[in-house]
């Protein structure tokens, strides 16, 4: 049995504890040093977090009753809605937004998002796994009461065998989840990200965010000696829109598949941690950062989108392609020209097709119950 | 500056030229004229007659009817590659298409299998792959669509006659408006200031102009290298094979196997690719280690049927064109680089080039940002495939000088890291850009003797009896599913027998 100490507190520490104790039952001895203040207020989570809940056996009902979970269908940045789920459908292997441009943008892009249609009507239902249903394009995130959610994760962790660490615990590996601050071992991102974002309003189906203080950057090393820094202990990019938790979730999955306990594994853990933190950083910059001199990979991504609406997806990307399309458009980054492959069909036909798609989505949204 | 392209000229036919012509005819908007110039006097290299599963996507995009295409190209199904002798005489393993087993929650299947291996009770890993089991039994049926059925895990590609495939796609392209011009290019004309290619003159004196040129002229790279000097990255220090001799034969040996065979030999390796009407054979070798005569006599001694026709010798140099797209010329096929056909990647690289060309199809302004993206993606994809191929040579278990040299060679650092990480604990992280997914790397790493010293400690948490029962049930299901399939040869006879068998 390997002894692991998770340092930090609140949602981050107990999420890590619950996931490691569940996956490592019988082989990992998980202890959590629950330090720090009890979390306050509400937090936002992305759709992907629901996958973790499923693995931990946390039902939607218990999230709602015990952690005050409420569904959300998107986020608003710079007065532009970024809905979850799919926007439109690819035609002939060409992404939807190319056809939307080729058809002369008959309406705002989110008219082809079921999440946006439902949100504007104040209606909600969970998506469907049946690929034939329009509901399969719908996805939703959550907002949660932070303290109650931490308690729920703590109960799951303890049930899976995690323990509250005694003082002076003797352990082999320390996993650090507590928010970090700039030190010697630091790569500074503050030129691109002078502030972060935190939840401002989540009373409706679309959450809004407000600026929050931030010292953006990441540690040079995720692994040093027997300490492994994950989530906010490793990188700070101020994504209170669910991005922070999402990066943590990815790091937990990486810990489970690649425990950095040999030099080769540690090197690979470092490489993957750096890449995913930088991809998440790029999206944060694109949404609320300074775009005057972006990091090289983001600059390349912007140049590609500007030329013809192509979305470059690197390894360890944290956001899906359609999130980038909305984010580019929200920052006023638009393609100079239309993808020629979208011009194969006559524009009237594409307009008809788009109109039919839109009507199906509107009808589907109308048929949902009120949230 | 940003007007649409109206004129495309493809230089060279063959597999690359006609695959490109067919795809452009299908995907481009109306009003773009596509012409292809080729000469009956110039032979084409029948690049690899074995393919990998993404070829299905290409055929589906074109809307080809599978049985019709297989009849026309005298094709058979391919489920795997069998590697013989790479770890020494008598050793063999399969690199099958598709995955091994099913992940257990967040745990990788191969980690559970490694635990069984370390505890001494593991069946061979290919017991958990349907394509492998069907290969052993020489059986085939189309995969099920319902993902709940074991039969949905069968993944396949084809063995076909590349010359017939090119002919089939030529008919397809010509029906859709592509114009074929017979002739040999005598001169390439370039713009005096920009260096852009403006046209070519044929030996007949005919001049052909276009806005976009696709160089499918083969190794020599008529436009991309001879006119535009793109340069070549030489990889022969990692992949020293520089010759091949091909000699088809009458079907013999174990007949119409639903897999390709790659057999290690003293100074390279030999392929065996079964088609409906003959078996394709060849020896890929290093001219530093064996003479052409010796290679041919070795090939003659090992083919498992009466040879058909004369042997065909090929020369090549492993590597890639430094820039596959320069100005208004895109190199697709052998003009963009060469990797030996050990993992059947030649036709795939043509397809990958076409896919990228369509995704980045230019306008007359030729945005440098898009050309750079094409070249970035090409470099990434080809280098990942290169690493995968180098692995087969680096991790060998043979004694001849050629193979000892391969074991001793320095390899790219990216590959070195991958081998070390896997050897330590069975962990593997494959790039999204890598054509070869995790299961392919696992098959070849294990097959070439890179067996992890440890497994993921988290799989130790699984209850031993339950794990044993689960693995044995899974292997049983896969075996039963494979046994219920019809023989490959019988399926071909019923589904797509070539009308003219000879």
Cβ atoms B33, B179 nearer than 8 A: yes
B211 CB neighbours in chain A (<8 A) are none
Q: What is the pLDDT of residues B337-370, one digit of tens each?
A: 999 999 999 999 999 999 999 999 999 999 999 9
A103 CB neighbours in chain B (<8 A) are none
Q: How confident is the model at residue A1 (pLDDT cuts 50, 70, 90)?
A: low
Cβ atoms B359, B258 nearer than 8 A: no
pLDDT, residue B57, reads 95
Separation in Å, CA of B380 to nearest CA in chain A: 11
The torsion angles phi and psi of B29, rounded to 5 degrees, stand at -65, 160
Cβ atoms A277, A255 nearer than 8 A: no
pLDDT, residue B202, reads 97
Mean pLDDT of all residues in A9-38: 91
What's the half-sphere exposure (Cβ side, CA atoms, 13 Å) at A268?
Answer: 29
What's the token pair of residue B332? Answer: 């697709």
End-to-end alpha-carbon separation of chain B, Å? 53
The enclosing H or E element of A210 equals: strand A206-213
Q: What is the pLDDT of residues A42-98, one digit of tens each?
A: 999 999 999 999 999 999 999 999 999 999 999 998 788 999 999 999 988 899 999
Using CB atoms, pick whichever of A23, A300, A306 lies closest to residue B458: A23
Number of H helices, E strands in chain A: 11, 16
Secondary structure (3-state) at A310: coil
**Alpha helices in chain A, H assignment, sequence order:** 10-23, 49-56, 60-67, 96-102, 114-121, 146-159, 243-257, 263-288, 296-308, 321-330, 347-366
The secondary structure of B161-212, three-state, reads CHHHHHHHHHHHHHHCCCEEEECCEEEEEECCCCCCEEEEEECCCCEEECCE
Cβ atoms A122, A113 nearer than 8 A: no
The phi-psi region of residue B344 (left if phi > 0; otherwise alpha if psi is between -120 and 50; otherwise beta) is: left
Q: How confident is the model at residue B1 (pLDDT cuts 50, 70, 90)?
A: very low
Mean pLDDT of all residues in A153-166: 95
Separation in Å, CA of A260 to nearest CA in chain B: 11
Instruction: Give dist(CA B371, CA A310) in Å, integer.
Output: 13
| B225 DSSP 8-state letter | I
Range A323-340 burial, b when 16+ CB lie within 10 A, else e: bbbbbbbbbebebeebbb
What's the half-sphere exposure (Cβ side, CA atoms, 13 Å) at A18?
Answer: 25
Contact B107 A23 (CB under 8 A): yes
B429 CB neighbours in chain A (<8 A) are 258, 268, 272
pLDDT, residue B44, reads 65
Contact A24 B360 (CB under 8 A): no
As a whole number, the mean pLDDT across chain B is 95
Length of chain B in terms of residues written:
502
Instruction: Give dist(CA B342, CA B385) in Å, integer.
Output: 11
Q: What is the pLDDT of residues B425-441, one digit of tens each?
A: 999 999 999 999 999 99
The enclosing H or E element of B417 equals: helix B413-425
Q: Which of B488, B436, B386, B475 is nearest to B95 (CA)?
A: B436
Query: CA separation (Å) from B108 to A258, B18, B111, B428?
Result: 11, 41, 5, 10
What's the token pair of residue A132? Answer: 């034939």
Spatial neighbors of B249 by CB under 8 A, at least 6 apart, are B278, B279, B281, B303, B304, B305, B306, B307, B308
pLDDT over 80 at B444, yes or no? yes
Separation in Å, CA of B178 to nearest CA in chain A: 16
Spatial neighbors of B315 by CB under 8 A, at least 6 apart, are B242, B243
**Closest-CA residue of chain A to B461:** A26
Q: What is the pLDDT of residues B113-149, one digit of tens each?
A: 999 999 999 999 999 999 999 999 999 999 999 988 9
Cβ atoms B307, B215 nearer than 8 A: no
pLDDT over 60 at B481, yes or no? yes
**Closest-CA residue of chain B to A93:** B61
Q: Which of A193, A201, A225, A164 is nearest to A33 (CA)?
A: A164
Ordered structural domains, chain A, with CATH:
2-84+141-278 (3.50.50.60)
Range A202-236 burial, b when 16+ CB lie within 10 A, else e: beebbbbbeeeebbbbbbebbbeeeebbbbbbbbb
CA angle (B371, B375, B379) in 5-degree steps = 175
A272 CB neighbours in chain B (<8 A) are 429
Catalytic residues of B: 78
**B-proximal residues of A, 88-127, CB under 8 Å:** 92-93
pLDDT over 60 at B47, yes or no? no
Cβ atoms A239, A7 nearer than 8 A: no
Mean pLDDT of all residues in A231-246: 94
A257 CB neighbours in chain B (<8 A) are 106, 108, 427, 456
Cβ atoms B280, B272 nearer than 8 A: yes
Using CB atoms, pick whichever of B363, B369, B427 lies closest to residue A265: B427
Q: Which of A314, A302, A241, A237 is nearest to A271 (CA)?
A: A314
Contact B456 A257 (CB under 8 A): yes
pLDDT, residue B338, reads 95
Q: Which of A217, A268, A277, A269 is nearest to A247 (CA)?
A: A277
B405 Cα distance to chain centroid = 25
Q: What is the pLDDT of residues B36-46, one digit of tens each?
A: 999 988 776 65
B4 CB neighbours in chain A (<8 A) are 340, 343
Instruction: Give dist(CA B162, CA B44) in Å, integer.
Output: 10
Cβ atoms A151, A94 nearer than 8 A: no
Instruction: Give dist(CA B446, CA B443) in Å, integer.
Output: 6
The torsion angles phi and psi of B290, rounded to 5 degrees, stand at -155, 145
Separation in Å, CA of B24 to nearest CA in chain A: 10
Contact B432 A315 (CB under 8 A): yes
What's the half-sphere exposure (Cβ side, CA atoms, 13 Å) at A335?
Answer: 24
Q: Which of B41, B35, B7 is nearest to B20 (CA)?
A: B35
Contact B427 A268 (CB under 8 A): yes
Mean pLDDT of all residues in A357-369: 97
pLDDT, residue B45, reads 62
Is the CB of A212 inside 8 Å of chain B's CB atoms?
no
Secondary structure (3-state) at B343: helix
A310 CB neighbours in chain B (<8 A) are 359-360, 370, 373
Spatial neighbors of A316 by CB under 8 A, at least 6 apart, are A272, A275, A276, A279
Contact A304 B106 (CB under 8 A): no
Cβ atoms B227, B25 nearer than 8 A: no
Spatial neighbors of A65 by CB under 8 A, at least 6 apart, are none
The enclosing H or E element of A227 equals: strand A227-229
| A325 DSSP 8-state letter | H
Q: Which of A63, A240, A227 is nearest to A153 (CA)?
A: A63
Q: Which of A250, A94, A226, A87 is nearest to A170 (CA)?
A: A226
Instruction: Give dist(CA B353, CA B174) in Å, integer.
Output: 21
B312 Cα distance to chain centroid = 20
Exposed/middle/buried for residue A59 (C-beta within 10 Å: 0-12, 13-18, 19+)? exposed
Chain B: residues touching A (Cβ < 8 Å): 2, 4-5, 27-30, 61, 105-108, 358-361, 363, 367, 369-370, 373, 417, 420-421, 424-425, 427, 429, 431-433, 456-458, 460-461
Q: How confident is the model at residue A2 (pLDDT cuts 50, 70, 90)?
A: confident
Secondary structure (3-state) at B354: helix
Q: What is the pLDDT of residues A171-228, one digit of tens each?
A: 899 999 998 888 889 999 999 999 999 999 988 999 999 999 999 999 999 999 999 9
Secondary structure (3-state) at B305: coil
Instruction: Give dist(CA A144, CA A70) in Å, integer.
Output: 7
Cβ atoms A27, B461 nearer than 8 A: yes
Instruction: Give dist(CA A107, CA A103) in Å, integer.
Output: 10
Secondary structure (3-state) at B487: strand
CB pairs under 8 A between A and B: 97
Instruction: Give dist(CA A32, CA A18) in Å, integer.
Output: 10
Using CB atoms, pick whichever of A253, A258, A307 lies closest to residue B369: A307
B437 CB neighbours in chain A (<8 A) are none
Contact B373 A310 (CB under 8 A): yes
| Strands of the B33-38 sheet, one edge to the other | B179-182, B33-38, B7-11, B212-215, B329-331, B325-326
What's the token pair of residue B479? Answer: 């075996």
Dihedral angle sign, alpha carbons of residues A231, A237, A241, A247:
negative
Instruction: Give dist(CA B261, CA B306) in Å, integer.
Output: 18
Greatest alpha-carbon span in chain A: 72
């Amino acid at each position: 049995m390997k002894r692991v100490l998770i340092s930090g507190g609140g949602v981050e520490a107990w999420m890590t504890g619950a996931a490691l104790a569940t996956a490592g039952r019988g082989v990992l001895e998980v202890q959590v040093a629950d330090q720090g203040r009890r979390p306050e207020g509400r937090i936002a989570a992305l759709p992907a977090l629901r996958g973790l809940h499923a693995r931990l056996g946390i039902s939607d009902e218990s999230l709602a009753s015990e952690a005050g979970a409420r569904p959300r269908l998107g986020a608003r940045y710079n007065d532009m809605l970024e809905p979850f789920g799919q926007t439109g459908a690819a035609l002939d292997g060409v992404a939807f937004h190319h056809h939307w441009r080729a058809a002369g943008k008959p309406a705002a892009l989110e008219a082809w998002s079921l999440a946006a249609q439902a949100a504007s009507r104040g209606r909600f239902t969970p998506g469907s796994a049946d690929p034939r249903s329009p509901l399969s394009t719908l996805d939703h995130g959550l907002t949660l009461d932070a303290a109650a959610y931490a308690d729920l994760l703590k109960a799951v962790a303890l049930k899976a065998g995690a323990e509250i660490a005694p003082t002076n615990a003797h352990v082999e590996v320390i996993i650090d989840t507590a928010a970090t601050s700039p030190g010697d071992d630091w790569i500074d991102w503050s030129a691109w990200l002078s502030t972060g974002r935190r939840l401002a309003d989540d009373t409706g189906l679309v959450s809004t965010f407000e600026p929050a203080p931030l010292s953006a950057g990441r540690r040079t090393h995720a692994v040093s000696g027997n300490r492994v820094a994950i989530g906010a202990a490793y990188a700070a990019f101020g994504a209170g829109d669910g991005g922070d938790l999402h990066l943590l979730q990815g790091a937990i999955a990486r810990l489970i598949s690649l425990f950095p306990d040999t030099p080769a594994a540690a090197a690979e853990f470092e490489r993957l941690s750096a890449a995913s933190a930088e991809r998440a950083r790029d999206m944060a910059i694109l949404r609320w950062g300074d775009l005057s001199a972006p990091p090289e990979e983001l600059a390349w991504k912007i140049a590609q989108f500007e030329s013809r609406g192509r979305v470059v997806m690197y390894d360890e990307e944290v956001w899906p392609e359609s999130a980038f399309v909305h984010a580019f458009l929200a920052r006023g980054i638009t393609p100079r020209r239309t993808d020629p492959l979208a011009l194969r069909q006559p524009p009237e036909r594409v307009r008809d097709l788009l109109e039919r798609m839109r009507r199906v989505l509107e009808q589907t949204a109308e048929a949902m119950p009120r949230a | 500056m940003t007007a649409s392209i109206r004129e495309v000229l493809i230089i060279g036919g063959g597999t690359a030229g006609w695959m490109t012509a067919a795809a452009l005819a299908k995907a481009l908007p109306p009003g773009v004229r596509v012409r292809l110039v080729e000469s009956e006097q110039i032979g084409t290299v029948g690049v690899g007659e074995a393919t990998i599963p993404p070829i299905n996507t290409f055929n589906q995009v074109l809307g080809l009817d599978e049985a019709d295409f297989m009849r026309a190209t005298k094709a058979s199904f391919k489920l795997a590659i069998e590697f013989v002798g790479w770890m020494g005489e008598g050793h063999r393993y399969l690199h099958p298409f598709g995955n091994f087993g099913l992940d257990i929650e967040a745990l990788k299947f191969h980690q559970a299998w490694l635990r069984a291996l370390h505890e001494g009770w593991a069946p061979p890993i290919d017991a958990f792959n349907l394509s492998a089991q069907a290969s052993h039994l020489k059986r085939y049926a189309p995969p099920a669509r319902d993902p709940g059925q074991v039969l949905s895990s069968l993944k396949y590609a084809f063995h076909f006659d590349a010359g017939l495939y090119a002919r089939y796609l030529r008919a397809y392209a010509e029906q859709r408006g592509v114009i074929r011009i017979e002739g040999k290019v005598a001169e390439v004309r370039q713009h005096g200031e920009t260096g852009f290619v403006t046209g070519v003159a044929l030996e007949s004196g005919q001049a052909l102009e276009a806005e976009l040129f696709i160089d499918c002229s083969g190794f020599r790279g008529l436009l991309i290298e001879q006119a535009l000097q793109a340069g070549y990255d030489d990889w022969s220090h990692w992949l020293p094979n520089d010759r091949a001799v091909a000699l088809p034969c009458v079907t013999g040996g174990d007949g119409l196997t639903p897999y390709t065979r790659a057999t290690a030999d003293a100074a390279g390796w030999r392929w065996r690719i079964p088609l409906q009407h003959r078996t394709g054979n060849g020896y890929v070798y290093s001219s530093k280690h064996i003479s052409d005569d010796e290679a041919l006599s070795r090939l003659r001694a090992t083919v498992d049927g009466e040879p058909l026709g004369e042997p065909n010798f090929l020369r090549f140099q492993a590597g890639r064109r430094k820039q596959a797209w320069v100005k208004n010329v895109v190199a697709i096929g052998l003009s963009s680089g060469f990797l030996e056909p050990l993992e059947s990647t030649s036709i795939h690289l043509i397809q990958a080039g076409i896919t990228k060309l369509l995704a980045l199809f230019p306008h007359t302004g030729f945005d440098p940002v898009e050309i750079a993206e094409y070249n970035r993606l090409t470099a990434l994809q080809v280098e990942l495939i290169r690493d995968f191929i180098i692995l087969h040579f680096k991790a060998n278990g043979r004694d001849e000088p050629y193979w000892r040299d391969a074991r001793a060679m320095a390899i790219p650092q990216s590959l070195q890291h991958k081998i070390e990480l896997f050897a330590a604990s069975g962990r593997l992280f494959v790039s999204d850009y890598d054509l070869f997914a995790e299961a392919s790397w696992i098959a070849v790493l294990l097959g070439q003797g890179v067996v992890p010293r440890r497994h993921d400690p988290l799989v130790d948490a699984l209850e031993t009896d339950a794990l044993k029962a689960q693995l044995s049930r899974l292997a049983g299901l896969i075996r039963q599913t494979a046994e219920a399939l019809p023989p490959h040869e019988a399926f071909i006879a019923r589904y797509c027998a070539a009308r003219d068998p000879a």
